[in-house]
Structures are given as structure tokens and as C-alpha cells.
């Protein structure tokens, strides 16, 4: 759609505040007719706009309708982009299992239409960071930077990787490293990432004593939130204002404002991060009882959604208050293999090579690799030799 291109052109040429009205108009037009055939050509550009505007309502309501319409008309390349993007929304809402299911389907479709199975790593890598899978996140980020940005010339892959590394290092408390990653994205300022990275820059900068970088990021954030005006944006600004205020007693009102605003949205992951940061602030002001309340709630949320590293950060802070860091775990559901995954796994367990499995099941070698990687993750194993024990075959 021409309006999408115009909005992005204004974003680059005029800057965010001037472009925001056109950006919002473009999404509004799409929301009025989410089944339009024109949308199948611009899903990624549309996603960048809604990310740039912090428009969770569009991502939650209109975006799935667009993906459904693309599926109906058989526009499979647009469908896998839609599914991967919806996975991002699911994990932000705290539904990590649903996010993984959408990623799995997105990868299946991308392979089906001839794309590389790593093509969804742009957003999957950040999900792995949220899950606290450090080694995997760093390996995937390295691949995005080295192979996808370098060899395949997908320049945006570096920013996706840096976003993931920023989240990972913030969750681990590696604030200097997080700031190094985040400022590169802020300086590049691509649509989508350039806005969403700002609160992370502020947190990392304040944690490392870089007040000038925090102030610059906050000034940019405030101007963009004023232009965007979404609930997600306003809550993010309130939390960032609290962070910038540091140890000042005035920060508390902004933490409470942010919590109230995030609680009114489905953004469970951001709500939990806000409780964590507020709890850390309370503990440093020696308000241990109040800190325990916030940190315990954050720990339980992170544990139940599966955000391991943020959960560990909350547990460390909670232990520092003198409390026992125990969270109520979400009930675990049995992991089920799909029929095709089971067939591939059974053959691999009986010693067949990937080429032999490919020939027997009439599927490509890359599809065999894809199914085995899902089987290994679901069964929590790393090699084929454990398959027979896990499958009981």
C-alpha cells in the first residue's frame, strides 16, 4: 500500500514526530480493511510501523486478521511472516508456549515456500533471550550478524541480533554489554527497533552511570511517546521516567503509574519487568517488605511464563531482602510430538541418516533437520543417541 511506503519515507526523511500522524493513518487504514489483497505485499513493513508506534492493539487484533486473510488467499510467504510476528505478541503477553507453537508453524511454512529455516531467527533470537537460553541466543545472534548481514546482505539482521543481545544482557545484569548493544541500535534508529530500544538504553545507561546517554535516550523517547500516544508507549515512558530519576523519592510515583498502565494491557512480560525494576528500587531504599512484594510477584510471573534469566535476576534481588526466593511454578504440560516429528524421530532412533530419512519419507534434508531440531528441543536432548531412551523404541 502506498500509504505504508509514504509513512516509512517520512519516518526516514522528516523524523519520527513528524511522521507519526502518517504512520498512524496507515495502520488505521489497514485496520479498516484487514482482508485487503494489497496487504500481502507489505507485511514486514506493516510490522515495523506497529512496532515503532508501540501499537499492541493493532498487533493483537488486526494483525491476526491480516494473516488469516493471507492464508485464505494462499499467500504463504506473507503467512509465515505474520505467524512469526504474532509469536512476538504472544511472548510479550506472557504466553511463551503459544509463541513457540507459532514460531514452529512459521518455520515449517518458510521451509515449504523455499526459504531458509533460519529466516525467522530475526525475531526468534530475542525470544530465546527472553527464555534465558544464553548460549543459544549468542550463537544465533552471531549467525545473524556474520551470515545474514554479511554473506546474505540482510542489513537489518544486525539490529535484530543486537536487540536480542540487549535483552539477554539486561536479564543477566550485564549492563555495560547491554548498553554497548543498545546504543548501536539507537544510533542507527531503524523503524521498529529504533523506538523500542530506547527504554533498554535508559535502563542500561543508568545502571552504568552514563547519565548523558540516558538523558538523550529519554528525550527521544518522550517525544515519540507524545506522538504515538498508545497505552504501551505511555507505560514505557512512565517506567523510564522512574529509572531516570534514580534514587530520588519522586521515582516511586512513576513506577506506580507505569504498573497501573501496564496492568491495564495484556503486556505481561513488560509488567513483570516493571515490578522487577520497582522492587530493585525499593530494596535499594531499604524498604525490604515492599520490595519483597514486588520482587515475589515478578519472580512468579517470570517463572510461570518461562523467562528464566529475568527470573534469576528477580530471585537474586529477592534473596538480598532476606526472603526465600521461591516462585509458584506454572503446571507443566506433557510435550507431544506431531505425527511427522514422531516418524522422523523413530527413524533417527533406529540409526537412519538424514539422507535415508529424507528418501523414505519423501521430504527434503532441510525438513528432516528442522523436525529433528524440534524433537531435540521438546525432549530436552542434544544428540540422536538419547532418542531411543526418550521414545521407548
Its CATH class, for the domain covering 229-324, is mainly alpha
Say yes or no to pLDDT of 89 above 90. yes
pLDDT at 335 (0 to 100): 59
CA distances from 294 to 16, 170, 309, 346 (A): 35, 18, 17, 47
| pLDDT at residue 328 in the model | 56
The DSSP result for 159-179, as a single string, is: HHHHHHHHHHHHHHT-HHHHH
Which of the two residues, 150 and 338, has the higher pLDDT score? 338
CATH of domain 339-391: 1.10.10.10
Q: How many CA atoms lie within 13 A of 1 on its CB side?
A: 25
DSSP helix/strand/coil, 94: coil
pLDDT confidence of residue 5: 92
**If you average pLDDT over residues 137-148, what whole number do you get?**
87
Q: What is the pLDDT of residue 332?
A: 47
CATH class of 1-119: mainly alpha
Structure confidence at residue 373 (pLDDT): 81
Burial grade of 335 (CB within 10 A; 0-12, 13-18, 19 or more): exposed
Residue, of 149 and 354, whose pLDDT is higher: 354
Mean pLDDT on 126-142: 94
Q: What is the pLDDT of residues 311-362, one digit of tens each?
A: 999 999 999 999 887 755 444 444 577 767 887 888 888 888 888 888 777 5
Average pLDDT over residues 78-93: 90
Residues near 299 by Cβ (< 8 Å), separated by ≥ 6? 311, 314, 315, 318, 325, 327
Identify the band that residue 134 occupies on the pLDDT scale cut at 50, 70 and 90: very high
Please report the sign of the dihedral spanned by the C-alpha atoms of residue 382, residue 387, residue 389, residue 391: positive
Residues in the chain: 393
pLDDT of residue 180: 98
Percent of the chain residues topping a pLDDT of 70: 91
Calpha distance 313→383 (Å, rounded): 30
pLDDT tier, 115 (very low <50, low <70, confident <90, very high otherwise): low
Q: Cα separation of 312 and 385, whole Å?
A: 32
Q: Which residue has the higher pLDDT, 379 or 174?
A: 174
Per-residue pLDDT band for 150 (boundaries 50, 70, 90) equals: low
How is residue 152 annotated by DSSP?
A: S
Indicate if the alpha-carbon torsion angle 164, 170, 171, 172 is positive or negative. Answer: positive
Confidence of residue 128 (pLDDT cuts 50, 70, 90): very high
CA 103: distance to chain centroid?
Answer: 12
Q: How confident is the model at residue 104 (pLDDT cuts 50, 70, 90)?
A: confident
Share of the chain above pLDDT 90, in %: 59
- Of 166-180, 241-255, 297-311, 316-330, the range with the lowest mean pLDDT is 316-330
CA 364 – CA 373 distance, rounded (Å): 14
Q: 140-143, long-range: CB within 8 Å, 24+ apart, which pairs?
A: 140/164, 141/165, 143/118
Average pLDDT, the chain: 89
Q: Summarize pLDDT for 27-71 with one digit per residue, the tens.
A: 999 898 887 766 667 788 898 999 999 999 999 998 888 888 888
Question: For residue 335, what is the DSSP state?
Answer: P
pLDDT, one tens digit per residue, over 263-321 is: 999 999 999 999 999 999 999 999 999 999 999 999 999 999 999 999 999 999 999 99
Residue 208, classed as helix, strand or coil, is: coil
Give the pLDDT band (50/70/90) at residue 188. very high
Judged against a pLDDT cut of 80, whether residue 118 lies above it is answered with: no
Band (pLDDT 50/70/90 cuts) for residue 372 is confident
Joined grid coordinates for residue 260: 497501573
The pTM for the full model equals 0.82
For residue 213, name the pLDDT band (cuts at 50, 70, 90): very high
Amino acid at each position: 500500500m502506498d500509504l505504508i511506503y509514504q509513512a516509512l519515507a517520512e519516518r526516514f526523511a522528516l523524523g519520527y514526530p513528524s511522521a507519526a500522524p502518517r504512520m498512524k493513518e496507515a495502520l488505521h487504514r489497514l485496520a479498516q480493511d484487514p482482508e485487503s489483497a494489497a496487504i500481502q505485499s507489505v507485511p514486514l513493513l506493516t510490522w515495523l510501523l506497529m512496532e515503532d508506534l508501540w501499537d499492541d492493539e493493532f498487533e493483537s487484533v488486526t494483525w491476526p486478521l491480516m494473516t488469516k486473510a493471507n492464508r485464505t488467499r494462499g499467500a504463504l510467504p506473507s503467512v509465515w511472516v505474520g505467524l512469526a510476528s504474532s509469536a512476538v505478541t504472544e511472548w510479550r503477553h506472557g504466553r511463551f508456549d503459544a509463541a513457540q507453537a507459532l514460531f514452529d508453524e512459521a518455520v515449517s511454512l518458510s521451509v515449504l515456500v523455499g526459504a531458509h529455516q533460519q529466516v525467522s531467527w530475526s525475531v526468534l533470537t530475542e525470544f530465546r533471550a527472553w527464555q534465558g537460553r544464553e548460549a543459544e541466543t549468542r550463537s544465533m545472534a552471531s549467525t545473524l550478524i556474520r551470515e545474514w548481514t554479511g554473506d546474505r546482505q540482510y542489513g537489518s539482521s544486525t539490529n535484530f541480533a543486537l536487540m536480542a543481545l540487549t535483552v539477554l544482557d539486561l536479564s543477566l545484569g550485564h549492563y555495560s554489554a547491554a548498553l554497548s548493544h543498545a546504543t548501536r541500535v539507537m544510533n542507527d534508529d531503524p523503524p521498529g527497533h529504533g523506538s523500542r530500544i530506547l527504554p533498554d538504553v535508559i535502563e542500561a545507561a543508568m545502571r552504568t552511570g552514563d547519565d548523558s546517554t540516558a538523558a538523550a535516550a529519554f528525550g527521544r523517547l518522550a517525544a515519540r511517546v507524545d506522538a504515538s500516544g498508545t497505552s504501551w508507549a505511555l507505560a514505557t515512558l512512565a517506567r523510564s521516567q522512574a529509572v531516570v530519576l534514580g534514587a530520588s523519592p519522586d521515582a516511586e510515583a512513576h513506577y506506580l503509574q507505569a504498573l497501573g498502565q501496564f496492568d491495564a494491557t495484556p503486556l505481561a512480560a513488560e509488567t513483570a519487568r516493571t515490578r522487577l525494576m520497582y522492587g530493585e528500587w525499593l530494596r535499594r531504599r531499604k524498604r525490604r517488605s515492599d520490595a519483597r512484594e514486588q520482587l515475589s510477584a515478578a519472580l512468579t510471573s517470570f517463572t510461570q511464563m518461562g523467562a528464566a534469566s529475568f527470573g534469576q535476576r528477580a530471585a537474586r534481588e529477592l534473596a538480598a531482602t532476606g526472603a526465600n526466593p521461591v516462585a509458584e511454578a506454572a503446571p507443566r504440560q506433557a510435550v507431544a510430538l506431531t505425527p511427522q516429528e514422531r516418524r522422523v524421530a523413530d527413524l533417527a532412533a533406529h540409526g537412519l541418516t538424514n539422507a535415508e530419512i529424507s528418501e523414505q519419507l519423501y521430504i527434503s534434508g532441510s525438513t528432516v533437520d528442522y523436525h529433528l531440531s524440534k524433537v531435540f528441543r521438546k525432549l530436552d536432548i542434544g544428540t540422536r543417541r538419547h532418542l531411543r531412551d526418550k521414545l521407548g523404541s
